[in-house]
Chains A and B, each alone.
Chain A
Amino acid sequence: MTSRPIVTVQAAKEGEKSGASLALPSVFRAPIRPDILNFVHDQMRKNTRQPYAVHVKAGHQVSAESWGTGRAVARIPRVRGGGTSRSGQGAFGNMCRGGRMFAPTKTWRKWHRRINVQQRRFAVASAIAATGVTSLVMARGHRIEKISEVPLVVSDSVQDLKKTKEAVAFLKRVKAWPDIQKVYASQRFRAGRGKMRNRARIQKRGPLVIYAKDNGLCRAFRNIPGVTLICVSRLNLLKLAPGGHLGRFVIWSESAFRQLDQIYAKSKLPDNKMASTDLTGILRSDEVKAAVRPRQARQARAVLKKNPLKNVNVMAKLNPYALVLKRKAILAQRKALAKKRKADAPASSQKQQQKKQPAAKKAKQAAVKGKAVKK
């Protein structure tokens, strides 16, 4: 990428002139790889763990021996002695009450993970790049609808803020306050045992403020819920992509933003596997279209076979003359029927004349009518 977009610096304090333009650092062009980031994030998160384990002797502080066979009891080791309800109870086994657990946890479990340097750098670069994509930051859940620009760069006077009140005023001016309000709204109690382990309250993550030099900034911002502060020289993946999800809302100070170019000199940045990630665009491009064969016409699908002797339409498809024949047959049949009725009609009327004359008349009329229709 030769031409890089311009980022305008926003005024941090009232009365300040905004508008200094900075070129977007090349980090923001790094490939965004959620898979690498997720992996590295997982590994990194394990590095703050404190070991836990069961006591070495747990379940074994008992001299128990199996009673062996022949005593009509299970062969599990049993507590020796007498005089207490504990005597004779099973011991040692993971299935026994008061016994040692299966595979007692050990402190020498591998708690920490080492991650390759290149991978770590890749992940951080991806994370920074993702903070520059509006959609990703929105998708992550930050309320940045009113923000003037992404990435959000503010003048260096932020770093000189001393009072929390000023910090709040700053956030409001920059339109980052809705994100903090979201944090307030999300403050709640943790579900589960964590409550009694000093992890009672939880809340969402708000904006991340990245500075170059702390002239009171940290003290001003640290009491605002959700805000995290880090220095450019010490970018932390766990803060840039909390939860392994890309796109935290970041507020850069101007000098911090400038430093990014120095930190991520060209050689340090990972290469893109794809020059352009717009797959649909690629597939529709002229180059691809030219190389691709023309689209195939609709394939003929298998048709269910129908019996022409039963199905008139199928018969007609095979032999159009069949329709003609059929029609002739139908007409001939009708004619024959008509003749038959005519022959029958006078005979039946003679019989019925003795009983009912109007009925006979009706029959005659019907016969006449029938004839007329058939002709």
Chain B
Amino acid sequence: MNSDDLIWQIINNSFCSFMTKTKTSKFCRNEYNLTGLCNRHSCPLANSQYATVREEDGVIYLYMKVAERAHLPAKMWERVKLHRNYERAIGQIKEKLIYWNNWIRRRVIARFDRLLEVQKRSRRLVLTSETKLVPLSRKVERRERRREDKALVRAGLETAIEKEMLDRLRAANPEEFVNVDRAAYEKALQAVEVEDEEDDEESEEEEEDESESETEYVEDFDESEEEIEDIQEQQEEGEEEEPPVRQKLTLSSRGAAAIAPPRKRAKVTVEYDSD
């Protein structure tokens, strides 16, 4: 009672889990389908006698199904390994499907040819393509970039560099300072003087605090002299902060002065190179 026609009617009209529709055509996702389309002829389920060619791990096999084995799913498909030689393989196909439906014979051979083409192409691709395409997850990429930016801000590179340089400055011998460019130095001086008025108040406060907390070695308790010394120190510090940039001295000495921890009252004398 279960003829192919009946099966096809049921599958086609009601439901088939392998069938997928697009706007123009119907496809069959059954792996044994000869054409890939959902057709009366192509349906592996609705044809009790059917054959396909399939590739498994680079080897091409001919699969055959007959009505006698329709009720034994595990043994339904008879598999024949096709010869590596094209002529022989075609011969095998023709021999196995000798009295079969014309359409199936032709389609099997056509599919076999196509599979060979695909194999050829994929082998060629492996040889030619050196760059491997790696898929990027847009979401992940965006997230990582954001995190990088935040991390950069958090690291505070500028402040770290400043700190490092100030430490070096303090550790280094003041006599080692050398003014190379007089003009730049003068400029820097001017810049510092402008800022200095604001800085003075801060430094004054600091000094007062420091005089209470730590012992300091001060020669004269003369504010004006200290101012000058401070200016000079700041200038030095300003210069030291940006050794590579001689021409343009953008002094962030204000920052330096604000951060500067308890300053040792080391007397700094400025020496000019007369050029």
Contact = CB atoms under 8 A, between A and B. Distances in A.
A139 B73 contact: no
Interface residues of B, number: 24
A279 interface: yes
B74 A278 contact: no
A15 B74 CA distance: 21
Interface in B10-41: 10-11, 13-18
Contact of A272 (B1, B73, B76): B1
A32 B2 contact: yes
A195 B4 CA distance: 42
A149 interface: yes
Contact of B71 (A30, A31, A134, A245): A134
Interface in A27-82: 29-32, 34, 38
A134 B72 CA distance: 8
Interface in A252-294: 272, 276-281
A150 B45 CA distance: 14
A278 B75 CA distance: 24
A277 B6 contact: yes
Contacts of A139: 7, 10-11, 15-18, 45
Contact of B74 (A29, A145, A277): A145
Nearest to B3: A278
A375 B71 CA distance: 85
Contact of B5 (A31, A141, A278): A278
B46 interface: yes
Identify the interface centre among B70, B74, B75: most chain A CB within 10 Å of its CB: B74
A134 B73 contact: yes
Given A32-B6, A277-B5, A278-B5, A135 B74 contact: no
Interface string B67-89: 00011111110000000000000
Contacts of A246: 10, 14
Given A145-B74, A147-B73, A150-B71, A135 B46 contact: yes
Given A31-B1, A138-B45, A146 B74 contact: yes
B165 to A, nearest CB: 59
A133 B13 contact: no
Interface residues of A, number: 35
B74 A175 contact: yes
B5 A133 contact: no
A130 B18 CA distance: 18
A136 B17 contact: no
A83 interface: no
Nearest to A280: B5
A175 B76 CA distance: 15
B46 A245 contact: no
Contacts of B6: 32, 277-278
Nearest to A144: B73
Nearest to B44: A135
A98 B5 CA distance: 58
Interface in A150-207: 150, 175
Q: Pick the 4 closest A-B CB pairs, nearest first.
A: A141-B17, A278-B3, A135-B45, A277-B6
Interface of A: 5, 29-32, 34, 38, 129-130, 132-136, 138-141, 144-150, 175, 245-246, 272, 276-281
19 contacts: A31-B1, A32-B1, A132-B71, A134-B71, A135-B45, A136-B11, A139-B7, A139-B15, A140-B15, A145-B73, A145-B74, A148-B75, A149-B72, A149-B73, A245-B14, A272-B1, A277-B5, A278-B5, A280-B5
Interface of B: 1-7, 10-11, 13-18, 45-46, 70-76
